[in-house]
Amino acid sequence: MPAEQSNARPAPDRVLADIADYVLGYEITSALAYATARHCLIDTLGCGLEALEYPACLKLLGPVVPGTVVPNGAKVPGTQFQLDPVQAAFNIGTMIRWLDFNDCWLAAEWGHPSDNLGGILAVADWLSRNAVAAGRSPLAMRHVLAGMIKAHEIQGVIALENSFNKVGIDHVALVKVASTAVVAAMLGSTREEIINALSLAWVDGQSLRTYRHAPNTGSRKSWAAGDATSRAVRLALIAKTGEMGYPSVLTARRWGFYDVVFGGKPFVLNQAYGSYVMENVLFKISFPAEFHAQTAVEAALTVRERLAAAGRSADDIAEIKIRTQRAAIEIIDKSGPLHNPADRDHCIQYMVAVPLIFGRLTAPDYEDGVAADPRIDHLRAKMKCIEDPAFTRDYHDPQKRSIANALAVRLADGTILDEVVVEYPIGHKRRRAEGLPHLEAKFRTNLARRFPADEQARILDISLDQAALERMAVNEYVDLYVS
């Protein structure tokens, strides 16, 4: 007979308690973290504005019931929608992730910590508008930046040593957990309520990575984070009502997350929560490319310049060997037909072919019109990816966190070009000073897609001034994005 199980209610799992204590009690003192959070904010919102140019994204936005407007609800930047915070989080989260063009975090688990902004901004705006309606003071944007820092930290620190992709779970599970914790704290939840909310996030069914990989790569990868951050808001609101939690959701024998999903292995957490992740986050500045291919795209543009200088072009290429990291092999090394933009922006061969042929890689280059050019698939067929163990080691080295790629090209006449190696993309912390002016220029470009010059100027005046932005009321800042 099976052993009798104790029904004594255990203390909350340490992971839950540590996260709750962090969001409630940790004081962020890092000026670098706040400055980086501001850049992350403007880059993320800018990417969302660019996504509004794509009908496939637009069709997912708005209220669940068409025509619904929520009094004092959260507004969706770049649109006329004013929604409940759960649906607003989905809208904002979907916009900012659609083009896969803002920040990134690469460790044992990959992901995009800026995805959490969907829930953070929606809840901060909703709380602020209701506070103003009741004669109270709204939240300041510094609260949003602090929430971003903490959400980045929770998602990123768990990702450092714990691979969810190896068990087939998508990284948006960590978006759900991080957003739940930060949003619950913003709602004024108690420690017990935050722990309960976190347990609800872990006990949820977690998304499979099916939609990120061949042969099923598809557009859900562009709204999965919106789904996760909106679910986080929903769970935080449920817990705020006093709904019970599940204290050993991770460690319970047989039925807990560790046994069901992680093969019985507990999370490895080797550093305390602080502001490390925001300070070291990676920005996608030059190319809307899956981050493991960013340096490959830079290398491809260099190869193209060398070909042009010699009077050659991509048509003269006979073979390309791509030395890369293990993560790139697992995620974006892909042959055969590519069926949609989501398929193409997760194919390193496509992301190398386009800049070799056209001298650029932009979001429209993943659309059907450009993809129909037969030269792209012809060139893809000449490429082979090879893992370089040194690249993989440096990728995981906490002192480096490189994302290296190298292109070796042989021409049809037998000429072998010098290999082009790029270890760190322009959005890496090691190239931050070089990258930030380009990031701000990218933000200006994205504002110009949606707003007239005077409105662009008002947004820029606040967004590029750290102190002014931190002081500004959340609802007033969001209103700048609604024309």
Inter-residue contact 23 to 184 (CB < 8 Å)? yes
- pLDDT value at 410 more than 80: yes
Average pLDDT, the chain: 96
- Return the minimum-mean-pLDDT range out of 8-12, 61-65, 85-89, 141-145: 8-12
- State what percent of residues in the chain have pLDDT above 70: 99
Specify which residues 104 forms β-bridges with. 282
pLDDT in tens, 30-89: 999 999 999 999 999 999 999 999 999 999 999 999 999 999 999 999 999 999 999 999
Inter-residue contact 329 to 385 (CB < 8 Å)? yes
Q: How far apart are the C-alpha atoms of 46 and 54, rounded to whole Å?
A: 14
Phi, psi of 320 (to 5 degrees): -130, 125
Q: How far apart are the C-alpha atoms of 12 and 141, rounded to whole Å?
A: 32
pLDDT attached to residue 8 = 87
In 3D space, the residue among 406, 210, 250 whose CA is nearest the CA of residue 322 turns out to be 406
**pLDDT-derived band of residue 1, with 50, 70 and 90 as boundaries?**
very low
pLDDT in tens, 358-389: 999 999 999 999 999 999 999 999 999 999 99
- State what percent of residues in the chain have pLDDT above 90: 92
pLDDT attached to residue 4 = 67
- pLDDT value at 269 more than 70: yes
Which residues have CB under 8 Å from 357's CB, separation 6+?
314, 373, 375, 376, 379
- pLDDT value at 2 more than 60: no
- pLDDT value at 281 more than 90: yes
pLDDT in tens, 153-182: 999 999 999 999 999 999 999 999 999 999
pLDDT in tens, 426-435: 889 899 989 9
Q: Is the peptide bond before 215 cis (omega within 30 degrees of 0)?
A: yes
Residue range 277-287: average pLDDT?
Answer: 92
SS3 state of residue 348: helix
**Which helix H or strand E contains 405, and what residues bound it?**
strand 405-411
Around 381, how many Cα atoms within 13 Å sit in the side-chain half-sphere? 8
Inter-residue contact 274 to 149 (CB < 8 Å)? no
Phi, psi of 12 (to 5 degrees): -60, 145
**pLDDT-derived band of residue 7, with 50, 70 and 90 as boundaries?**
confident
pLDDT attached to residue 286 = 85
User: pTM for the complete prediction?
Assistant: 0.89
Q: Taking the alpha carbons of 18, 22, 26, 32 in that order, is the dihedral positive or negative?
A: positive
